[in-house]
Amino acid sequence: MSTITRKHGTKVTTAATPDERMAAIQAIVDEGQYAKIDGTMIDLFSAGAILAVDRALSPENQAKFRQYPAGKMAVLAFKLLK
């Protein structure tokens, strides 16, 4: 996983694997700081929703969910949380 910190503090992360993507999303929640993952800006609220849905899924569905880019994970998380 490559992480670049921009001049104004925003982190830009390119996640190559699902585990790296989830680690980057967990880092957003832990640090309380938004970041750009897979080309999409993910804020604290979206990251929390993604993690909540991920934890509630069965292992088979969790593996499928983690294959999506971060932006699509956020869209699906908000649809599932309704």
pLDDT per residue over 17-71, tens digit each?
899 899 999 999 999 988 889 889 999 999 999 999 999 999 999 999 999 999 9
Residue 12, pLDDT score: 72
Residue 47, pLDDT score: 96
Residue 14, pLDDT score: 67
Q: Is the pLDDT of residue 15 over 60?
A: yes
Tally of CB atoms within 10 A around 48 = 14
Model confidence, pTM: 0.84
DSSP string, the chain: -EEEE-TTS-EEEE--SHHHHHHHHHHHHHHT--EEETTEEE-HHHHHHHHHHHHHS-HHHHHHHTTS-HHHHHHHHHHHH-
